[in-house]
Structure 1
């Protein structure tokens, strides 16, 4: 980062009244959460994502698919929010009109203190009935031990819905499925109404989620990108901060309100 652009970015953040923070897999990777395809390691490398992450796969072998997602959920549960997640929660505290929109299916934003994050791709921690989405589902508490720590490659029968006895499925968006309508609508509305959008750790190639920063830019908001590498969003970003979220975001937040408090 050069010395001029970060100061300008901090000024924009400190002056903003409606901020959207749009996050992707990069910020969670810094907490040790593997990206989707990176999680196909070890024994799971025998499969491909298309077999494990579709409704057809779940219907064909629900024990296999549920076992993989339980293994992923257990691994994510052991991860901790990093300074980037904490900085985003600070932004939400300092700018009451801010919204967090994430493509991630973990709960690291919530554990860092973020309120009401919009999950465009669902959540590993929000299972639902496969027959009726209106039927709520929760994970049963499991004691420490083998059941609470699924082995890699292990089949686990999914639980049944307490209301209709249908299978409970992972609460994520699978290949071929539409994004949750309410979440997508809320994200679009927030992007269209914000004056600043921070895009953090996303490759910006997965649609329709990747359209969110572009909607903000078309609506007149300033887009600031935080990413170690160039992405397709370079073209719509007024400022590109090259670096990892866990390093760039805390510095940006500290500078933003240091400048604001000085004025």
Structure 2
């Protein structure tokens, strides 16, 4: 059994109490939730993806359109990590919480589909998904599994089976708008919830970073579980600066079993 500091233990108990009192809880997750599954985040000093590469040079829509091979060269190690990743204990715990009717939706900034692999059903993907690819020419969409497996293994850029043009992973690159349907759903969930749990997000990327404020402005409680400070720590009811893969299962266990 994991041993927590007195401060962390108190925060876990308080967070669980807020969940038990809540009727419409929503979860917002970021890259920090998936780092225990072996997927690097973007902004951690020294280890984040943007500590090594300039995002606008490798992961922008303009780069993809003009030099897709450059994007895919950068993307291949990340695609391999995502392709082989398994949900961690926090993903499984959140799926349990949803199944028990304790959360209405998960809003995620992640593209790794680990929430779905763990069994979560209501997942709003703000930055797209690795589940599908779409042709840049004829817009034919394909399931990503076969194409990504080949790409990870050989580095072969995926091409459309209909017109032989480049297939783009259905993830949001710099310079692309968020998927409108997902954004509307996320705003609705944030405005209607009475509790928001933020996990593994630095809350630095707009407009998603503004969702917790929308919840707070309508009287919702806020719990933040993240290894680094966020701009909303001062407004949160509970802040836990610990590994999400350890603390989230502890919160969920107390919510469901007391």
TM-score range for the pair, normalised by the shorter chain length? 0.7 to 0.9
Q: Is contact 2:39-2:78 (8 Å) kept?
A: no
Q: Is contact 2:131-2:145 (8 Å) kept?
A: no
Alpha-carbon distance in structure 1 between the residues aligned to 2:86 and 2:103:
26
Partner of 2:254: 255
Partner of 1:108: 114
Partner of 1:241: 240
Asked if residue 195 in structure 1 is aligned to residue 194 in structure 2, the reply is yes
- Following superposition, the deviation at residue 11 of structure 1 comes to 1.2
The TM-score, its normalising length taken from structure 1, stands at: 0.85
- Following superposition, the deviation at residue 2 of structure 1 comes to 4.3
Alpha-carbon distance in structure 2 between the residues aligned to 1:61 and 1:92:
41
38, 50, 59: which one pairs with 1:53?
A: 59
Alpha-carbon distance in structure 2 between the residues aligned to 1:216 and 1:189:
10
Match runs of 1:40-119 below 5 Å? 48-95=54-101, 98-119=104-125
Structure 1 residues 247 and 218: CA distance shift in structure 2, 3 A? same
Structure 1 residues 158 and 142: CA distance shift in structure 2, 3 A? closer
Alpha-carbon distance in structure 2 between the residues aligned to 1:165 and 1:110:
30
Q: Is contact 2:108-2:123 (8 Å) kept?
A: yes
Match runs of 1:120-199 below 5 Å? 120-131=126-137, 135-139=140-144, 141=146, 148-150=152-154, 156-160=156-160, 162=162, 166-199=165-198
Alpha-carbon distance in structure 2 between the residues aligned to 1:161 and 1:237:
49
Partner of 2:4: none
Structure 1 residues 60 and 142: CA distance shift in structure 2, 3 A? closer
Q: Please, what is the CA RMSD of the aligned residues?
A: 2.5
Count of residues in Structure 1 that have an aligned counterpart in Structure 2:
248
Alpha-carbon distance in structure 2 between the residues aligned to 1:217 and 1:96:
19
- Following superposition, the deviation at residue 6 of structure 1 comes to 2.4
Q: Is contact 1:222-1:238 (8 Å) kept?
A: yes
27, 41, 45: which one pairs with 1:21?
A: 27
Alpha-carbon distance in structure 2 between the residues aligned to 1:71 and 1:63:
14
What secondary structure, in the 3-state scheme, does the structure 2 residue paired with 1:240 have?
strand
